[in-house]
């Protein structure tokens, strides 16, 4: 079972041999079992990967994320047709009615807002308003409680913060962390036989990951908490995204999360969420959806 990720930041050649990734760098060679790997982030322009390795990664369900010249994730390679019921599961997605999709989105948003409240609560801020907002979310969130909660949340979590400010280092950290988490969610959806382009709420014709952008919502506060800690309790707003920052953010899928009463990694939580989403489509009820909450403390 895949349980680890690899963040590659220095020149390297990657190849496949005997079911292992062979990483050759200036100081020598490292081997990793392919079956242990869930995601690979290629965060350097000086890396080469053999087609045999790319094919093996796809077959093994490894998500490969590449970055741009600013070291921000800008692309992803996911496996194709890895589920034995691919067509059947896709059929369930297409058949999902508007009412079910509305209730699924309600559950996703409610959990997201409750997790945002837990982030504030974890460092002593008042979270009562957010918990109250979470309860007011209706199917499809017609009153856009999500946006109102976001305004309250960001103004409380960080001081002097504008989410759209690209020069703020905290935004760079958030964007990097979200991209890594989005890759983990997309990987889990594909492994469960779901089509990432077909969302329950997001419906852009230009977006190949509408469903991933739906399911990631309750996972975003895990990234926020990691960034709050990494940015000196939210105070570091200046300077570039460092290699140490990127390495730390690359490990976000290994953060602990609660699914019901079980503590698992965020990576495992994505797999549980994806599998439960298939069950929701099968049973036509949002009540079976398993979503992560923050580990107290």
Please state, in angstroms and rounded to a whole number, the distance separating the CA atoms of residues 145 and 51.
46
Q: What is the mean pLDDT of residues 56-79?
A: 89
Please state, in angstroms and rounded to a whole number, the distance separating the CA atoms of residues 175 and 278.
28
pLDDT above 80 for 81: no
Banded pLDDT at 1 (limits 50, 70, 90): low
What is the CATH architecture assignment of 86-288? Up-down Bundle (1.20)
Q: What is the mean pLDDT of residues 91-113?
A: 96
Residue 103, burial from CB neighbour count under 10 angstroms (0-12, 13-18, 19+): buried
- Whole-number pLDDT of residue 159: 83
Domain ranges of the chain: 4-77, 86-288
Q: What is the mean pLDDT of residues 257-269?
A: 95
Buried-state track 192-201, b at ≥16 Cβ within 10 A, e below 16: bbbbbbbbbb
pLDDT above 70 for 83: no
- Whole-number pLDDT of residue 229: 93
28 sits in the region (left: phi over 0; alpha: psi -120 to 50; else beta) called: left
- Whole-structure pTM value: 0.91
Q: What is the mean pLDDT of residues 136-163?
A: 94
pLDDT tens across 13-50, in order?
A: 999 999 899 999 998 999 999 999 999 999 999 999 99
Name the residue with higher pLDDT: 84 or 89: 89
Q: What is the mean pLDDT of residues 73-101?
A: 84
Name the residue with higher pLDDT: 86 or 19: 19
- Whole-number pLDDT of residue 102: 98
- Whole-number pLDDT of residue 297: 65
End-to-end CA distance of the chain: 28
- Whole-number pLDDT of residue 84: 59
Banded pLDDT at 119 (limits 50, 70, 90): very high
- Whole-number pLDDT of residue 86: 73
- Dihedral pair phi/psi, residue 291, rounded to 5°: -125, 155
User: Around Cβ 295, how many Cβ atoms within 10 Å?
Assistant: 15
- What percent of the chain is predicted at pLDDT more than 70? 98
Q: Which residues contact 264 (CB under 8 A, 6 or more apart)?
A: 256, 257, 258, 272
Please tell me if the domain spanning 4-77 has the same topology as the one spanning 86-288: no
Q: Which residues contact 201 (CB under 8 A, 6 or more apart)?
A: 101, 104, 105, 108, 140, 214
- Whole-number pLDDT of residue 82: 62
Q: Which of 177, 175, 229, 187 is nearest to 211 (CA)?
A: 187
Length of the chain: 297
Please state, in angstroms and rounded to a whole number, the distance separating the CA atoms of residues 198 and 77.
18
C-beta separation of 269 from 257 below 8 A: yes
pLDDT tens across 153-211, in order?
A: 999 999 888 888 888 899 999 999 999 999 999 999 998 999 999 999 999 988 889 99
Superfamily of the domain at 4-77: CRISPR-associated endonuclease Cas1, N-terminal domain (3.100.10.20)
Look over the chain and give the mean of its residue pLDDT values, rounded to a whole number: 92
Up-side HSE of residue 229: CA atoms within 13 Å toward CB? 13
Residue 287, burial from CB neighbour count under 10 angstroms (0-12, 13-18, 19+): exposed
pLDDT above 80 for 143: yes
Banded pLDDT at 89 (limits 50, 70, 90): confident
Please state, in angstroms and rounded to a whole number, the distance separating the CA atoms of residues 179 and 223.
10
């Amino acid at each position: 079972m895949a349980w680890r990720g690899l963040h590659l930041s220095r020149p390297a050649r990657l190849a496949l041999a005997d079911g292992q990734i062979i990483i050759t760098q200036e100081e020598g060679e490292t081997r990793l079992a392919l079956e242990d790997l869930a995601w690979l982030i290629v965060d350097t322009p000086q890396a080469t990967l053999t087609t045999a390795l790319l094919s093996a990664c796809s077959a093994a369900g490894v998500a490969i994320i590449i970055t741009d010249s600013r070291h921000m994730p800008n692309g992803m390679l996911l496996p194709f047709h890895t589920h034995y019921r691919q067509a059947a599961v896709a059929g369930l997605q297409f058949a999902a009615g508007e009412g079910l999709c509305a209730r699924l989105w309600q559950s996703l948003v409610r959990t997201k807002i409750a997790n945002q409240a837990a982030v504030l609560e974890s460092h002593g801020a008042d979270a009562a308003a957010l918990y109250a907002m979470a309860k007011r979310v209706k199917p499809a969130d017609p009153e856009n409680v999500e946006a109102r909660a976001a305004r309250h949340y960001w103004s409380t979590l960080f001081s002097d913060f504008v989410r759209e400010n690209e020069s703020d280092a905290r935004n760079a950290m958030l964007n990097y962390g979200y991209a890594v988490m989005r890759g983990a969610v997309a990987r889990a959806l594909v492994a469960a036989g779901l089509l990432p382009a077909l969302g329950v709420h997001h419906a852009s014709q230009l977006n190949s990951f509408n469903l991933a952008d739906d399911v990631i919502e309750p996972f975003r506060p895990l990234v926020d908490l990691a960034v709050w800690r990494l940015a000196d309790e939210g105070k570091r707003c200046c300077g570039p995204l460092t290699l140490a920052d990127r390495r730390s953010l690359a490990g976000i899928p290994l953060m602990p999360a609660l699914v019901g009463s079980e503590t698992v990694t965020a990576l495992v939580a994505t797999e549980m969420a994806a599998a439960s989403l298939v069950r929701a489509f099968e049973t036509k009820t949002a009540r079976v959806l398993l979503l992560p909450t923050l580990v107290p403390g």
